[in-house]
Structure 1
Amino acid sequence: MSDKISTLLEVAADRAVTVIRALTDDQLTAPTPCSEYDVHALADHLFQVVVNFQALAAKKDADFGAAPEHLTGEWRDRFADETLRLIKAWDAPGAEEGTSGRMGLPARTVGAMVLGDLTVHGWDLARATGQPYEPDAALVAMLGEEFAALAPTARSMGVFGEPVPVAEDASPFDVLLAATGRDPHWTRP
């Protein structure tokens, strides 16, 4: 598989869209492994991420401070549509080059951030609602490298929690989840 952000996004988005489409309204108040969010808030956050990272791919600023309510009407279909726009935005010439907006981070790092959100929050939502979730191995390997570099800054900003200990023989995805502060063995209460 190519390590191009848009190619990796196709895989990550496919899995996230599958999880989002399977969410039922009665599950929206369920807790998630991402402790500050219930299913509704996390799905809304992920929707906001997908929209804002389209702007970042185009080297524009994004507003993460405003938290509009995305989960209205046919929001599951709109989420799928927005992920297609996200992939297209990151497939545009130059999307992976230079820096992205006010963040001032390398564009490829920003691309890894949205890949991480789709992958990790996809797992959060799947785990919270009893859905299966198996991320792509190449994607997990790429995120492992990127997140190792991002982790100290992400922790200082409160984006990642403190790392969770895992066994020496833990899978690469369990190691990735633990690095973000998640218990890879979290189960629904």
Structure 2
Amino acid sequence: MYERTSAPCRAPRGGGLLERAIGFALTSVQTVTPQMLPRRTPCASWDLEMLLLHLRDSLTALSEGASLGRVGVEPAPLVREEDPVSAVRVSAVRLLRVSGALGRVEIGDRRLAGDLMEAAGAIEVAVHGWDIAQASGERRPVPPGMAEELLRLCPLVVPEPRRPLFDEPVEPGPDADAGERLIAYLGRRPLR
């Protein structure tokens, strides 16, 4: 179903992939209302509010990586917000202000090249943008060009073993487009 290749592959420099992923996620967040927050999401044990708070925290961690050169290892407990949609927007804007500055980032006792951190962030932000779109009823797909780029980067940044960050890949179907293949690679069932 999915092949790991031994061919060298580097994360792209520039190109705005993280910025495009943020734009996609912000578009997905646009239609979320307070009444939707208890809805289930493609993330098995999270409702929409928890997913938004997780995305806020992911965006904040990426901002820390860009501005401080380090990211905390231990995830902070999800802190409830009066308006989680606004919290995502604020965190996204903060990240956009510093996103071009990602250099080497320390994560615990490890160092990660800034381009790989940016690739991991783009995957995280895009897939959660998709999750939000599904939970809100918008059913917006990941844009095909962005999905192709993210699929090429997944083998570089999706850890093995995948749990607890991602589920195992699922079969995307024979006529799946790039967005559906990306979602399936990250353990979500494409909608058909």
Give the number of the structure whose residues are more often helix, by fraction: 1
TM-score normalised over the length of structure 1 = 0.83
Q: Is the 8 A contact 1:163 1:178 kept in 2?
A: yes
1:49 is aligned to 2:58:
yes
Query: What is the alpha-carbon root mean square deviation over aligned residues?
Result: 2.2
Q: Which residue of 2 aligns with 1:140?
A: 147
Write the distance in 2 (CA, Å) between the matches of 1:71 and 1:123. Answer: 21
5+ residue gaps, structure 2: 1-11
Q: Is the 8 A contact 2:42 2:188 kept in 1?
A: yes
Q: Is the 8 A contact 2:53 2:88 kept in 1?
A: no
Change (3 A) 1:99 1:181: same
Shift of residue 84 of structure 1? 1.7
Q: Which residue of 1 aligns with 2:174?
A: 168
Write the distance in 1 (CA, Å) between the matches of 2:131 and 2:144. Answer: 18
1:81 is aligned to 2:87:
no
Shift of residue 111 of structure 1? 1.1
- Aligned-residue sequence identity (percent) comes to 25
Shift of residue 90 of structure 1? 1.6
Alignment of 1:1-189 (within 5 A): 4=13, 7-58=16-67, 59-62=69-72, 64-73=74-83, 75-92=84-101, 95=102, 97-102=103-108, 103-153=110-160, 155=162, 157-185=163-191
Letter of the 2:182 counterpart: L
TM-score normalised over the length of structure 2 = 0.81
Q: Is the 8 A contact 2:104 2:113 kept in 1?
A: yes
Shift of residue 67 of structure 1? 2.0
3-state DSSP of counterpart to 1:50? helix
Change (3 A) 1:149 1:8: closer
Q: What is the number of residues matched between the two proteins?
A: 179
